[in-house]
Structure 1
């Protein structure tokens, strides 16, 4: 067992100076009170009362000057040794637990990883507090093995890992690449296969670890199903449709892989659909009145059928990550306040109809799909979002995550499921 202290040298310096001054001042006052008590024995009670009042005032002043005292007490956490975990990780519900401070994190520096796009590199964009990078997810009954990049690379030799989804999928993809690059001696041996810069405008990005003959690819498919043109005789408000019964036309490129990691959900909103003139279609039938939640379930059914009939799950390990908790506030959910520390409670953010639909569909599938149910673990991390430290500081972001940060833990869990012996 190891005790982790989330307390830096500056804090110790301030505390030491403060303590010295208070002690000196307290000694002077105490001496004056002692003289007073010696010459005026009838006022003993008054003298003790004054001294206690002074001590109380010192405590109040300290709390005002050092508001971070509460996190200091919280930071003395016991970090469990994985060897002493109560149950093996393969039998553990790793998504029930809490975040604990761990000064050995982060696992990499975003500024030294060319595949972490600038929009997610919060420290490079001016964020001054790095405390959000020093938290580790601790399941209730086990421990997630810490990344050993070199061993993972050896285990993944000759493999192809594919991420499919929206920008949150791209964040996890970038995170995994940066994590594994820490185990590569020659950084030049890791490169984007088409020489592309990492950007949200490109539908396909692929990074090759040439020493290990490993490919880690990302395909941008925010709905998983196929965007389509406007059918004949459609109302003028219809600018495009989403074919709920057909997979994205680039899905054929995902099949030849050893690992498939999916996500979807953040684009299934009125803002991204109806307000943009995009409506649902099944076959030749336009579904103008179909609710988004119903359409999402229909799309997931199409995806599930595709996996069951097209993907060789004896070779390919399939994962689906649930909805990632956002922390928008205000009545219209349009304000973004990034905290300095994680929330102590989920405050209802662990609830998601999108995640509920994903869970239901996967439970009914005929083949094995590993569910990465990260919704609850993300609900605590109000401190981990991009906020105003992204591409455009004038547009706050309480949906995406800073790198390094929360997505790194998704990947440590992913690797523990994929390679339990590493």
Structure 2
């Protein structure tokens, strides 16, 4: 495993006698230090991060709207090299007697709900005292947290089968005992009462694939200590809407794994390639964008499966297609175009006045082999940042997202003042190979080898930290708004 060279902190200035020749150097050093502390994102974005322990999963299709209880037939296993990890015939659960959860750690006591004014004061005080607004939340390490987790599979009913690691007998629970610690500040643990006050009267949309849905379900579980939402969506609709009526707050998920207009080449066969119209909006979510105050947009592993690429209604290339007379592109071609088109849709939505958060690429952690060749993620504790690197193709995806986010931010400022923010899941989640379901997302099937899930995240699990980030980012927005008004 590759190691990063550890950074040496700057030495403490020594007391010296007055010397006029040293004055300019001292002033320069002071200015450099001030700039560094004030703009940590510049340092982070300039770092080249890569991953050594994530095996190739370029044929992996992650999203699922198929119940995990579908039985896997032996005859259907062979074609899974291009199929979803939790689709029928790839990573399905089978019936069986439910395993009771192990005794969970005691929950922390939730303080009574604060008034809106009190929440503003708490957020403002936290930001001011710890200089949170200038702290890079996404540069840090995982540290022990004996208080976790804050819910279990027995206290939250929003957990899908393939995320329910406790139910399916995961023997270690140490992976639940960590929290993210930024280098220069503290990241408060998610507090459901405070979050619900922050979003009172607001609406939040997740746009993306099954990992986006994984994120939404984590949020619902964390909020379940206070209240469950009302599901007002159709049971057969992949797009879901949940309402917290006492708070006039709602959450929606729009299933759009490619972010752009997508057409199946075979309507009834999910294993066949998709046609991607890379310069056309996916109207299933872009036509509704104006109704939301916050949008969390993400995309990932779907871009590694066979696809045909269209620009200006014409076929321009493909990924993993058998034709020799078509230009063969890499996944980065479609990934860049998709994000650029999605961000353009947001910037051209005339009535959208909300905030868009780019949740960056969450690396998978297959070790030992590829995902369909026995690769697994059997680690039981987080890595340190000097223990792993982001692999080249994942690093490229991450860089594309940051570059397209910057372009969207600049375009938004020029056009209609659209706000784009970063929620960097890549850096923290690279260090959590222990947080995936692995083989604990289904019951074992006799004489059948099932693929391990090293892409989605156990619930509860490290993905809950994404909502710690979200809460802090919302508090920062509130503080900025307070300072400007």
TM-score normalised by structure 2 residue count: 0.62
1:14-413 to structure 2, matched below 5 A, reads 87-184=130-227, 187=228, 190-194=229-233, 196=235, 202-228=237-263, 240-251=274-285, 252-269=287-304, 272=305, 274=306, 278-288=307-317, 289=327, 290-310=329-349, 312=351, 315-332=353-370, 334=373, 335-345=375-385, 346-349=387-390, 352-365=395-408, 366-367=411-412, 368-391=419-442, 393=444, 394-413=450-469
How far apart are the structure 2 equivalents of 1:319 and 1:297? 17
Equivalent residue for 2:474, pick from 397, 413, 418? 418
Contact 2:127 2:133 in 1 (8 A): no
Kindly tell me: are residues 286 and 210 of structure 1, through their superposed partners in 2, closer, same or farther at Cα, counting changes over 3 Å?
same
How far apart are the structure 1 equivalents of 2:204 and 2:198? 12
* TM-fit CA distance, 1:83: 6.3
How far apart are the structure 2 equivalents of 1:84 and 1:263? 27
* TM-fit CA distance, 1:145: 1.7
Structure 1: give runs of 5+ residues left out of the alignment. Answer: 1-81, 231-237
How far apart are the structure 2 equivalents of 1:316 and 1:97? 29
Structure 2: give runs of 5+ residues left out of the alignment. Answer: 1-124, 266-271, 318-326, 413-418, 445-449, 480-485
Task: Report which stretch shifted further, 84-93 or 130-139.
Answer: 84-93
What is the number of residues matched between the two proteins?
A: 321
Aligned to 1:35: none
How far apart are the structure 1 equivalents of 2:226 and 2:130? 29
Kindly tell me: are residues 85 and 105 of structure 1, through their superposed partners in 2, closer, same or farther at Cα, counting changes over 3 Å?
farther
Contact 2:198 2:474 in 1 (8 A): no
CA RMSD of aligned residues (A): 2.5
SS in structure 2 at match of 1:298: helix
TM-score normalised by structure 1 residue count: 0.71
Structure with the higher fraction of residues in strand conformation: 1
Higher relative contact order (CA 8 A, sep 6+): 2
Contact 1:194 1:206 in 2 (8 A): yes
SS in structure 2 at match of 1:286: strand
Structure with the higher fraction of residues in helix conformation: 1
Deviations 1:37-95 (A, max 9, x none): xxxxxxxxxxxxxxxxxxxxxxxxxxxxxxxxxxxxxxxxxxxxx96998422211111
Aligned to 2:74: none
* TM-fit CA distance, 1:178: 1.0
Deviations 1:344-376 (A, max 9, x none): 345113752111101001112222311111112
Aligned to 1:8: none
How far apart are the structure 2 equivalents of 1:381 and 1:112? 24
